[in-house]
Chain A
């Protein structure tokens, strides 16, 4: 009986958690976005920033 309760509680948590994660689009936001990141970005002419290949001019 205790085992079943534990399993049910854990499962419902997982369902709720995954449901919330899916519903709110978790995992789709890129690391290199957001006002703070964008403000400090030095894009043209040098290396750094973004997720692409490291550019060497």
Chain B
């Protein structure tokens, strides 16, 4: 346990990881944001309903590229279903792993492509990158409905984000995300769910 306490209820918070900027209080359910070493509450951490999970917080899984231990978990709901994103350590590197009904993608941030605006966020849109052309295969909007653990940046629970997935000529994956106040792009490496094993 650290010496930090929840600004909402005063309960002790877990030891904060070096990269953590947002953490949930397990006692009162508050979302706690770290702003220049000052802790403040920023809403609620949301309700995380029980669902079967391939990856879980705090338990290590062996991926083909290394040992992954999730320290943060965000759930995105798109109405008929949800997917999960886990943030954590993969053999010393901080990455996000997205798990969407068996589609496991290891995501590494990339610089936003030039002229990457909302126009790209429609099915069939062509995205040209250094390594080739990508076609937009999926667009949807989802709401971050809950998070647990520690995240590297604040995520507004309840905010809706717009997502677009792009597929390259050889099945390579790129994804883009737009929300109120931000844009993020990732290169995705697909992981066979059957290659995710308990460590």
- Judge A-B direct contact (beta carbons within 8 Å): no
**B-to-A contact residues, CB < 8 Å:** none
